[in-house]
Amino acid sequence: MKRHPMLKYLKEEGPLGPRMPLIFCPGCGSGQVLNYTLHAVDKLIEEDEVRRENFLFISGIGCSGRITSHYLNFDSAWTIHGRALAVATGALLANPAFKIVVFTGDGDTGSIGGNHFIHACRRNIDVTILCLNNGLYGMTGGQHAPTTPIGTITTTTPYRNREAAFDLCKLAEIAGASYVARWTTAHPQQVIKSIMKGLRKKGTAFIEILSQCPVHEKKTPVDLLKGFRRNTIRISKSKESTDGKTLIGEFCDLDRREWNESYQEIIDQFVMENDKIDE
């Protein structure tokens, strides 16, 4: 029997028995984002000869956070709600060579972790943030989030959501992230390329991925993916108007100084001064 090519990066068995199937509901975007991420990682291992032990995967809490819970055959940390970036900052201080992927949800990033998010971007810490945006709190029962579009019915907005949604990409860009892009789970090749770009880039790469939650959106995964194709428009094709659609593509790709590098300068300066004293 031939098996899925990315299973080589997953832990199918643990000391307490089988770890798979994944915990996600049928057709959930979380599994797809994991699949795309492993394809990107596979290419980096092959093309850039990045060593497997240099990758580190960190997540917060939520369905999207469960990606790191116990499936990855890499170093990974399943941390606390909204705080994955704080843990990533610490990890980078300990080892600036880490290739860090942070999996987070729209609630994890936009509400409880909002401050960690903007300050990670401001500092431009060297991480690749994959924000799975399903426009709601999936894990806790489909409540509305700061990313829920106006007019959407959720379990806590039965009369339709009245509050404006955060544009997480705009927030990341204005706060100072080096690389910002938005795609959907219906754009696998673009997501894979963006993740590779993010991991190769110094500084914060924020990649928002619109991701389906078939359970709370009450539609089939196939219909939700079709909706993503129908209701999005590439930045390059939206010069005149967005036609009421969500913009997808790369919003910025800059060479800004990354956080650890600027601290390294202080260390280098002290080393130099000490060397002088020794002379």
Partner 1 sequence: MNKLWIDERYCKGCLICVDVCPKKALKASPEINSKGYILPVEKDMKRCKSCGLCEVMCPDFAIAIEKAEG
Ligand X SMILES: Cc1ncc(C[n+]2csc(CCOP(=O)(O)OP(=O)(O)O)c2C)c(N)n1
Q: Which residues bind partner 1 (CB under 8 A)?
A: 1-7, 10, 18, 20-22, 24-32, 34-36, 39, 185, 188-189, 192, 214, 220-222, 225-226
C-alpha Rg value of the chain to the nearest Å? 20
Which one-letter amino acid corresponds to residue 225?
Answer: L
How open is the CA angle 168-169-175, to the nearest 5 degrees?
90
Which one-letter amino acid corresponds to residue 2?
Answer: K
Which one-letter amino acid corresponds to residue 219?
Answer: K
Question: Among residue numbers 43 through 62, which ones bind ligand X (CB under 6 A)?
Answer: 61-62
| Residue 81 binding ligand X, by CB under 6 A | yes
* Tokens coding 276: 């002088």
Cα separation, 244 vs 264, whole angstroms: 46
Cα separation, 211 vs 221, whole angstroms: 10
Closest C-alpha among 274, 261, 269 to residue 96: 261
Q: Which is nearer to ligand SF4, 25 or 235 (CB)?
A: 25
* Tokens coding 63: 């369905």
| Residue 28 binding ligand SF4, by CB under 6 A | yes
Q: Which stretch binds Mg ion (CB under 5 A): 137-145, 150-158, 178-186, 271-279?
A: 137-145
| Residue 24 binding ligand SF4, by CB under 6 A | yes
Q: How far is the CB of 139 from ligand SF4 (least distance, A)?
A: 6
Closest C-alpha among 164, 163, 152, 127 to residue 231: 152
Question: Among residue numbers 84 through 123, which ones bind ligand X (CB under 6 A)?
Answer: 105-108, 112
Q: How far is the CB of 241 from partner 1 (least distance, A)?
A: 29
Give me the residues that bind ligand SF4 (CB under 6 A), please.
24-25, 28, 30, 63, 134, 138-139, 213-216
Give me the residues that bind ligand X (CB under 6 A), please.
61-64, 81, 105-108, 112, 132, 134, 136-140, 145
